[in-house]
Amino acid sequence: MEYRRLGASGLLVPALGFGAGTFGGRGALFSAWGDTDAAQARRLIDISLEAGVTLFDTADVYSDGASEEVLGAAIKGRREQVLLSTKSALPTGPGPHEAGSGRARLIRAVDASLRRLGTDYLDLFQLHAFDAGTPLAETLTALDDLVRAGKIRYLGVSNFAGWELMKTLATAEALGLEKPVAHQVYYSLVGRDYEWELLPLGADQGVGSIIWSPLGWGRLTGKVRRGQPLPAGSRLHETAQAGPPVDDERLYDVVEVLDRIAAETGRSVPQISLNWLLTRPTVATVLIGARNEEQLRQNLGAVDWQLEPEHLAALDAASATTPPYPYYPYHRLPDFARLNPPAIRTAA
């Protein structure tokens, strides 16, 4: 397993991490994702650790905290072998202090996550959403205090807009507080919006990306194809409306290229989709999920090999979209493109 530096930090993370959203199975959305219990989770973690996957990511909203509980039980006795990442800020209940990033909420949320995970520190804690109603100075000071107390080692954010992330970084810099080194984002062959603003920002500011739903919310499994109904067992039947929107025709175009590359390489559609992501700038780790051993072992096959340049070019072309204003001039007009070096001007 390749290990990569997480942004401008000293933390090394595996190229593949494990997303524990399938653990717990509480609620309509998360029960459709999976209902892995502690015994099943322990086996999946055994396989992951054998392959060098040491990062396990969860959140307090996943199955109403049950994901953290199951993950904590599954790693009991081997805490020092794993990196634990969790998130908070989204609503966990109807009360006035059960959402957001205020000082009191963050302190309670971190303590509750530590208790459910059965640990006294988090390797990475991420704000799960931007809280526009709380002053950033309050949020960042509270997080800095938690770092100094030894409860958190590194900070990150998730699903922030470009201006939200830049304001967070600038505020932390101005106040001399701990800055986020990670941004957990949606990015896939059928969802490349991350490239327009957030990727260049991360490259410029030293923020590494942690990729969620790298298979396009279950659309790049190799089972969804043009002219065929969704497989009976696909979670898309229950969860499509909750996930990122994907244009069907573009999806089918991408899948057809993936099928061709799969035939030429002997790799599966999911493996190729994951491997493509690992070639992209700022990507530190790609989170894979699995409801069973077969899925996990299949996804683990995405590393330790490389796509050929012609395969990467074909995937880039099939998945490309016209960027929104004000980005498209830099990709269409040579004179504009000269102003942005290739390391920053990333989207095809």
Active site amino acids:
62
The two tokens of residue 75 are: 């790693």
* Residue 269 backbone phi and psi in degrees, to 5: -55, -50
What Å distances lie between residue 250 and 127, 220, 253, CA to CA? Answer: 32, 12, 5
CA torsion sign, 58 to 76 to 98 to 208? negative
**Do residues 217 and 247 touch, judged by C-beta distance below 8 A?**
no
- Helices assigned H by DSSP within the chain: 28-33, 38-50, 66-74, 103-117, 136-148, 162-175, 198-205, 236-239, 248-265, 269-278, 293-300, 309-319, 328-332, 334-337
Report CA torsion sign: 3, 6, 10, 16: negative
As a whole number of angstroms, the distance between CA 148 and CA 19 comes to: 27
Amino acid present at 341: P
In this structure, how many other beta carbons lie within 10 angstroms of the beta carbon of residue 156?
Answer: 25
21-36 as b/e, with b when 16 or more CB fall inside 10 Å? bbbbbbeebbebbbbb
Residue whose C-alpha is closest to residue 197's, from 347, 348, 8: 347
CB-based contact 210:87 (threshold 8 Å):
no
Tell me the C-alpha distance between 22 and 33, whole Å.
5
Query: What six digits make up the tokens of 331?
Result: 């990709």
